[in-house]
Chain A
Amino acid sequence: MDIHFTPEELAFRSEVRAFLEQNLPADIAGKVRLGRRLSKEDHQRWQKILNKQGWYAVNWPVEYGGTGWSVVQKHIFDEECAAAGAPRLVAFGVNMVAPVIIRFGTPAQKEFYLPRILSSEDWWCQGYSEPGAGSDLASLKTRAERDGDFYVVNGQKTWTTLGQHANRIFCLVRTDPAAKKQEGISFLLIDMDTPGITVRPIITLDGEHEVNEVFFDNVRVPVENLVGEENKGWTCAKYLLTHERTGQAGIGLSKAALAHLKDIASAETVAGRPLIDDPLFRARIAEVEMRLMAVEMSTLRILAATRDGGVPGAESSLLKIQGSEIRQAISGLMRKALGPNALPFLEPELEPDFGGEPLYRDYSASPASQYFNLRKLSIYGGSNEIQKNIIAKQVLEL
């Protein structure tokens, strides 16, 4: 038993760190650290830098342009990226639809889509949730009816993250309304420029335009855009969700957020004394840091167990719950650290191109809105309650 990384893994960590020091643009890292919004251009600039290094499609098999890294290396990479303030990668293309295309797609689909994902030419969004299909995803109603060499798609998707930037969407659609819930669903790739698609913004409680509604009105999609077999889309969906949950503990993100929290607590003063010297607040930080240490150890144990390429099972549900709770707890402390200074809602200071003088401090505009924004962590990717159902069923066999 040994909790240390190998010399090779430590050397890898140094290599990643050196790369980030030289290549991560300071303006982007600054926005990430301060919790400002990122533009499409910010994301794409960083994706292209990673791709040039061959480090963008970390999770792909080597023959498609992946890195061939071990799970431990991937963990180290994620942790270093988060610590350096790199933007969290928008997963829909590179880490969600791409693994599905690689696993279930035709040679033509692979040849067409994968290079466009690598080059950032395509921006993908996810057409899963519907107004009536949230946690109960399989009750989705968006229809796709066959008409010659086309599917005609009608219906509505919602909570489509960054759909306003996307030129492509992968959708779960119902192709056999007579079949049982999971059995009549297919996985379709759709060009967002196709006539009949309308994207409408949903403004979330923090004032941000991050999610959208997407409407489909007689949208004609070529049949060659079907991934896998017709009516077998649920297999793709489940495969993708496994990928979505992996790494959702967000250890690196929590560590970076904790460091930022400590900075804020050191800078803020309460009755003339640094907040970090207040024993009660300090203990609250200590408590969440200790829990984070425990979740990190659990993550490392799972990584070591899946080092040879296995897919983590229901343990990832536990990590999703605990990791999201910790990130939410840190965001709560960050908001509390500001006291009354968390109240002003200064949207211009949150914008990617803000260059002016902050009303109070550079760190003070985002914590309250971040806190509200991060309520999403325990809702998306299978809500934490759904994760508990999974644990009860698959682990505890209740």
Chain B
Amino acid sequence: MNFELNEEQQMLADTVERLVRNTYGFEQREGFYQSPQGYSPDFWRQLSELGITSVPIATDYEGFGGTGVENMLVMKELGRGLCLEPYLHSQVYAAGLIQQLGSLEQRQQILPSVASGEQLLAVADEEAGTHFHPEASECTAVPCERGWRLSGHKRVVIGGELAHTILVTARMSDGDGVSLFLLDPAAEGVSRTGYPCIDGPKACDLELSGVYVEADALIGPAGKAGPALAYQRGRALAAQCAEALGSMEEAFRLTLEYLKTRQQFGSPIGRFQALQHRMAEMRGELELARSMTILAACVADDPDSSERSRRLAAAKFVVARASELIAEQSIQLHGGIGMTWEYSLAHHAKRLVMLTHQFGDDDFHLGQYSALLELPRQASRQVA
């Protein structure tokens, strides 16, 4: 048992932390948000030059070959800086799906350009009726000559407006499981409607009207993408816990600083016990979130098992609850100023809450854990 970072990991964390601090101040971020692209291509280029974009991708495909721990270190700093780039959805989630499901040719063709940061990916796995259940997709893939025709409406594809390639879930027939296809968003029959999300990053809806994709656009076996989607969502949520942790740390730091400086009734408001206890409670939840983020990072790349699923569900549950608490209470403890667009705290609060709307919220994961609950009769008492 060891919770220390090795030298290489510490260097990685320091590098990202420094880069974010130097280039992603709150005012600069507002500029990136207001720009037509909605993010900073320059920041993305720097991430690429420093090799950060390659961290989650295997060495076989010119990646760094990082584990859940390296993903955690990167995402925590991107969370602290409220970064707008689709690192999580492109480098961790989408690339992970290709790595797990893709043929050797697909992997060799796509992943190196993702690792280098040239090609951005996105995953279109949510629809009006899915709500964290991508296996319930109702988009259709109808076989045609030398390929398929995809139809349906995809919702809230994070990073989808920027992506060069989008991974799309669809179903070949009613009784069948879900399949995954590579989609060129410029293809005929694709209509993209872009918009910013309330916490900053850009997303889009996709209308697919009989879009033709070639036979080799299918990733992995037909109708059997469900387990890989679940597994990769686990990896992604582990990394997302770290993003939330970075943001929570910053929101907590800002709030603590405010309590020490804001004067009312002749003293800093941090002298009042009601507020002190609230902060102590938030500090406690933050610590639990940190512990579960570490646990999630350590098990994210374990082989699929009930134990891994339970731990990841528990991590997301604990982090989501902590995120909501810290978001709501940071605003409350700041009073009116916490509700203004011009103060970074409000944007942390928005990010923290909206992260719970991706990869399952606390209720979703409570249900997942509950379904996997280990009962004494089944349990062989666990040794580590």
Contact = CB atoms under 8 A, between A and B. Distances in A.
B288 interface: yes
A297 B2 CA distance: 12
Nearest to A317: B280
Given A14-B383, A290-B369, A391-B280, A2 B2 contact: yes
A283 interface: yes
A389 B276 contact: yes
Contact of A388 (B69, B276, B379): B276
B384 A388 contact: no
Contacts of B291: 294-295, 297-298, 301
B283 to A, nearest CB: 6
Contacts of B284: 318, 321-322, 391
Contacts of A48: none
A263 B1 contact: no
A277 to B, nearest CB: 11
B1 A6 contact: yes
A329 B146 CA distance: 60
Interface string B60-74: 000000000100000
Interface string A69-91: 00010000000000100000000
A287 B289 CA distance: 14
Interface residues of B, number: 49
A392 B279 contact: yes
Contact of B370 (A6, A13, A286, A398): A286
A198 interface: no
Most B CB within 10 A of own CB, among A289, A388, A398: A398
A221 B376 CA distance: 53
B270 A398 contact: yes
A304 B370 contact: no
A291 interface: yes
B276 A398 contact: yes
Interface in A378-398: 385, 387-389, 391-392, 395-398
A295 B1 contact: no
Contact of B276 (A279, A301, A392): A392
Nearest to B284: A318
Contacts of B275: 398
Interface in A132-168: none
B193 to A, nearest CB: 37
Contacts of A397: 260
A396 B298 contact: no
B366 A396 contact: no
B317 A290 contact: yes
A103 to B, nearest CB: 28
Interface in A276-311: 276, 279, 282-283, 285-287, 289-291, 293-295, 297-298, 300-301, 303-305
Contacts of B69: 1
Given A290-B317, A298-B288, A385 B376 contact: no
A389 B281 CA distance: 11
A35 to B, nearest CB: 16
Contact of B288 (A294, A385, A398): A294
Contacts of B4: 1
A4 interface: yes
A282 B318 contact: no
Nearest to B384: A5
A263 B369 CA distance: 18
Interface string B290-321: 11101101110000000000010110011000
B1 A5 contact: yes
A321 B283 CA distance: 12
A294 B280 contact: no
Interface in B24-66: none
Given A294-B291, A396-B256, A283 B2 contact: no
A346 interface: no
A388 B277 contact: yes
Contact of A290 (B297, B314, B383, B384): B314
Which A-B residue pairs are the 3 nearest by beta carbons? A297-B291, A392-B276, A388-B280
17 contacts: A3-B1, A5-B383, A9-B1, A259-B376, A263-B376, A279-B370, A286-B366, A289-B369, A293-B311, A293-B314, A294-B288, A297-B291, A297-B292, A298-B287, A318-B284, A321-B284, A398-B276
Given A287-B317, A291-B318, A297-B291, 11 more contacts: A1-B2, A5-B384, A289-B369, A293-B295, A293-B318, A301-B294, A305-B3, A315-B287, A395-B283, A397-B260, A398-B270
